[in-house]
Amino acid sequence: MPTGLKATSEPIAISAVFNQGTNNAFEVKRMDLQLNPLDLEVFVVTGVKIDFLNMPGRVPHGVNGTFFPEYEAAVAKSLPTSMPTIGSSNCVGYANLLAQQTSGGSGSTATIHSIIESNSTDTPPADMDYLDIIATSDFFLAVDSNAVGPGETLSVAIRVHGYRARATAAQYAALVQSEQLSL
């Protein structure tokens, strides 16, 4: 447990499914943690699991040549204005799914040559107590897709593991300020 924090709950798992509404679009879904700021309550994230529920490029694209459709998903501590990656200070977890495909033209079937999936650590290494601390009441699930066929949207499932904890006044103020500055 992070120094100075006192756990106020047992481990919690928060799950959600996000179905993208429009293909090739960045979209965000707000997830409410229902933290109590009067009690200086924070959420200590101990693990993030992101699973893609479908594969990019399953719809013929009508393009000659090789193309690289991609799905991206991230869990962020503050409302992102563009797709966060693990290099973003407000990003708790990130995953992407990339397919290299070849299409022979309009209406032809795409041939998938390879699938590459990368994601951040699902759970912290044994010597790490937690992944991140969320001090505000919400976290955000962000998705984006790139160069996918008409009507093709991504579906993703997430599970965030953690527990509620109480911070000191100084810790709480620093954590909230840090989240606000990471926008």
Mean pLDDT by 10 residues, the chain (183 residues): 83 95 92 92 93 77 66 92 89 86 61 65 68 92 84 90 93 87 65
- Phi, psi (5° rounding) for residue 175? -65, -45
Q: How many CA atoms lie within 13 A of 89 on its CB side?
A: 8
Structural fold of domain 6-181:
Jelly Rolls (2.60.120)
In what helix (H) or strand (E) does residue 142 lie, and over which residues does it extend? strand 138-146
With tokens 């810790």, the residue in question is 171
Tokens of 177: 């300020």
pLDDT at 103: 62
Q: Give the integer Cα–Cα distance in Å for 34 and 58.
A: 38
155 CB neighbour count, 10 Å cutoff: 15
